[in-house]
Each structure stands twice: as structure tokens, then as C-alpha cells.
Amino acid sequence: MGIKRLAQDLGLSIATVSRALNNHPEVSAQTRQRVQDAAQARAYAPNQSGRSLRKGRHNTIGLMLPPKSSNENYTWSLFLTLAEGIQSRIAPADLELVLFQNRDDADEMARLKRVVERRLVDGLILAGTRRKDERLDYVAAQGFPFVALGRSSSGGEHAWVDLDFEVGVAQVVGNLVARGHQRIALCTPQDDAMQGHLMRKGYRSAMRRHGLVVDNALIGREELSERGGYLEVRRLRALESPPSAVIFQSDCMAIGAYGSLHELGLQPGPDMAIFGGVLTGELARYMHPSLSGFSVDLRPLGTRLADALLARMAAQDAGVPATAFQQLWPLNILQGKSDI
């Protein structure tokens, strides 16, 4: 049933019925209740496309995932769980979530411009921030509502939620030092990702705080994949003085490290302590030895990102300045046996 038929049945104008369905204050409470009861009894569903066009909205928000190569699969388990948290928060507001995946930086920027210029979504969550991030500068200049998963020097005073890598890595270094390790290596991705920068910053600071030499040969940059971890262990073991422990950014790199050590006749843990970084699934507990790493409460993180974006969208609708919501999200160490 359409709104025209509903209005005819009730003997009201289409405008009155529309206002009543949208709880407009110009319609009396008695009429609103009468219209809404009739709509429910007749299983009336408003035409969302028409409502969206009138409001200039599509009732969707977008989550733009970081570009990834064909070798990188870690993002799916992590971001799909994050998406569940986002969806759980926006569903009561009658919003849907759209995911955008890109091949590389150029593809991502081109898609971002299409999404914003055509207003394909009502707001964006941008993941995988970089130290200098043209995406953030662009959406900020366009006045488009967005929230970043990660900090950046770009984008002006914007809303973000970021994993607290500086504190997390410092804690890992302290734990390794307490177990007798002094030659501690760190491996982060090759790109300009802000997370890698913060990990290196926290690592250097913690090493100096414990009176240890920061050897640049122990700070590696590799592909964020199993192959990246495999190659990094090969490089480290070839050094004149190899490290006794390695901290990786992601568990996919640690998986490759395990394989590399086994090929060399070495054992993860006893021969080289491995910390797996962000654990993206249940695999860590089934590895041998079980892999230590960071656990992240992804669903609550998703709801927090959604809350921040909904607040910015509401502020834009009201024509008032949006509060730059900014929060560090804790990394919890899930202790396995790979670094003991």
C-alpha cells in the first residue's frame, strides 16, 4: 500500500499523513496516533528511496578499508568483525553499512572522490590512516562527515579512534626485557601507515628507557603478509648478531616467521621469541607454540566508531560545529608461549 491510498482511506491529505508518520509537531498527537495505527494495521512501508531523495540522504554509511595486495588477507577477519559492531549501532537508526575495498592508493583516492562527489553514502569511516594522508585532507575540505580509524597529521581537527600502539609495544618490550632479552627486533609494514610509525616510536622509547641500544638493523620494514614475516626472519638470522626476540605488527607476519624458523631447524620461543602483534582470529591459540599478541575488542571498537560518525552527521544536519571526538583504544596482551 502507498501513502496515497493510506491517505484516502483515512480521509486525510497526503501531506498530513506524511507529517504524522514522521512525528511532525504540527500534527496533533491524536491524528499522529490514528495514522500510525492505520499504517501498522495495513503493513504500510514508506518508500525509502523517495524519503532519501527528499532528505538528500541514502541512509548508508561507508567503511573504506585500506588497500591490500593479493597476498594480504589479514584484513578480512579483522574488518568484518569491526563491521559487525558498526552495523549493530547504525541499524536502529535505519542505516546500512557499505564496505569499499581498493587495490592500491590511486584506486582508493579515485573511489573516495566518486563516493563523496556523488554523495553515495551519508558518512565515511576511513581505516588505515597514514602519517600524511591526502584522503583526510580531501574529505575535510569537502565538509563531508567522517571518522578515522587511526591518527594522522592530516585532516585538521577531526574525529578519530586509534589503537594505542605506543603503550602496547612499550609493554611488550618491558616483558621481553624482564625475561632476559636485550637484542629485540621490530618488524612493521613498508608503507607510511601511522600504526607502524607509532609502533617504531614506542619501541625506540621503550628500548632506551630500559638502557638498551637501538640498533637500526633490528628495525625491519616488510610486506604485511606471511611472506613478509618469512623474509624478515631470514634477514635477521643472517645478521652477525641476530636478535633473540622479534615483535611483529600482525599475526600474518608471525605465521611466516614460524615457517622460516622451522626451515632453519629452529623453534619459535626457545630459539627466537615471537610476538605476533594484532591477532585477527582464533589461529594464534592453535599454533605451536601458541602465539602471543594483542587482542582487540573489535565489536565495541566498531560501535564507538559508529557513535562518533553518527554524532558528526547529526551536528552537520543541525548546522552546528561537530566535536572532534578522539580516543585511544587499548591493546590487551593475549599471552601465549611463543615469547616465554
Q: What is the pLDDT of residue 7?
A: 81
Q: What is the pLDDT of residue 259?
A: 97
Distance CA 31, CA 28 (A): 5
Q: Which residues contact 104 (CB under 8 A, 6 or more apart)?
A: 67
- Contact call for residues 72 and 229 (beta carbons, < 8 A): no
Q: What is the pLDDT of residue 6?
A: 81
- Contact call for residues 255 and 216 (beta carbons, < 8 A): no
Q: What is the pLDDT of residue 332?
A: 95
Q: Which residues contact 84 (CB under 8 A, 6 or more apart)?
A: 298, 299, 302
∠170-68-77 over CA atoms, to 5°? 70
Taking each helix axis from N to C end, the angle separating 251-263 and 226-237, rounded to the nearest 10 degrees, works out to: 50
Q: What is the pLDDT of residue 56?
A: 57
CATH fold group of domain 3-46: 434 Repressor (Amino-terminal Domain) (1.10.260)
Q: pLDDT, tens digit, for every residue of 291-305?
A: 999 999 999 999 999
Q: What is the pLDDT of residue 143?
A: 93
DSSP state of 244: S
Q: Where are the domains of the chain?
A: 3-46, 60-163+299-328, 165-295
Asked if the domains at 60-163+299-328 and 165-295 fall in one CATH topology, the answer is: yes
**Mean pLDDT in runs of 10 for the chain (340 residues)?**
77 79 74 84 58 61 82 70 94 92 82 93 95 95 95 93 96 97 95 91 97 96 93 97 97 96 97 95 91 96 95 87 88 95
CATH architecture of 165-295: 3-Layer(aba) Sandwich (3.40)
Pick the CATH number of 60-163+299-328 from 3.20.170.30, 3.40.50.970, 1.10.10.1100, 3.40.50.2300: 3.40.50.2300
Q: What is the pLDDT of residue 50?
A: 46
* pTM confidence score: 0.80
Output b/e per residue, 133-154; b: 16+ Cβ within 10 A.
bebbbbbeeeebbbbbbbbbeb
